[in-house]
Amino acid sequence: MLIDFNKLNINNLSPQTDFEYTIKNFLDEWFSLGDTVKVQTSGSTGIPKVFEIEKKKMIKSAVMTCDFLELKEGNKALLCLPVDYISGKMMMVRSIQRKLKLIVTDPSLKPTEYLNEEVDFCAMTPLQVENSLNKLHLIKNLIIGGAAVSENLKSKILSTKLLSNTSNRIFETYGMSETLSHIALKQLMPEPEDYFTVFENISITTDERGCLKIEAPDLNTEVLQTNDLVEIRNEKQFKFLGRIDNVINSGGAKIFPEALEALVKKEIPNEAVFLGSEDERLGQKLILIIEGEESAELSEKVLKIPFEKSFHKPKEIIFTDKIPRTPNGKVNRIELYKIITKS
């Protein structure tokens, strides 16, 4: 399905798939007399919930992204994310606001399988990018969200850039449902950056724990307190360190699993997740779960990594066929812990 928002007539749309019907339903809701639309959270850090967001705030969020990426009327975008969540809904709103031509494809792990033309804009999850490396040269502006971009995937993206010699731009996003998708971008190519840069009219600080506080009056009337540990470089830039609720306390030492996962993924291609398992002596024992068949070679590679601290080396390495994820691609640590501990 191709929707040209420069000459949209909802009544002329002819949805063929279940996903295309959800697109039609969203457009009916958007162009209704109501001031809000319903959005569902991913449930990656708790129980999924549905809440309502004002359309005028979604428009302001859309303008921020479109202006930053310099999207223009008539540009082509690719929608390959579910519209139940804020990420897919905001792709719709950006297309409406900037009058883009939107190519709609059913969400899948291979969203570019049938893409044979250039598009100006697309948003994907890391897993989708992983399966689209051979088509990245067709996307002029790609934003990646829903989960952190691993070091291994970053390397693959950069290798793709060298092979195709493109000047296309790829960004990692930072945001949440409460900020109406992302409020900051970090460039991965052509020039990799270490810090996220926030949009205009957004202020950032930290609380006494070192967790990010976001003031975005155009998007949310409340100051948003996150559980994300960050390092603030200046009033517009920050580095994400990890979620405080994921911090592992082992023998009195605080361990940030996301930092260790980034280090491990530089050495092995598999998905890898650090968790804290209950331990009588340490409180929490550091364990590493690797997705894939059990491999002595992979285990040996991990144990040879020069971790900064001796207690960063996992006490146990567990292999599992599949690491559970939320619908938008984030690792579901709560479910993974239940699987590993069989609780």
Backbone angles phi, psi at 319, to 5 degrees: -105, 140
Q: Count other C-beta atoms under 10 Å from residue 118's C-beta.
A: 11
Spatial CB neighbours of 162, under 8 Å, sequence gap ≥ 6:
none
Which CATH code is given to the segment(s) 247-341? 3.30.300.30
pLDDT in tens, 142-193: 999 988 888 778 888 888 876 666 778 999 999 887 888 899 999 999 888 9
pTM above 0.85, yes or no: no
DSSP 58-120: HHHHHHHHHHHHT--TT-EEEE-S-TTBHHHHHHHHHHHHHT-EEEE----S-TTTT--S-BS
Which CATH code is given to the segment(s) 2-243? 3.40.50.12780
Strand-by-strand arrangement of the 316-320 sheet: 272-279, 283-291, 316-320
Residue ranges of domains in the chain: 2-243, 247-341
Distance CA(113)–CA(135), nearest Å, equals 8
Q: Amino acid identity, residue 272?
A: A
pLDDT in tens, 22-81: 999 999 999 999 999 888 765 555 556 777 889 999 999 999 999 999 999 999 999 999
Q: Are 220 and 199 in contact (CB under 8 A)?
A: no
Helix or strand run (H / E) with residue 128: helix 126-130
Q: Are 184 and 175 in contact (CB under 8 A)?
A: yes
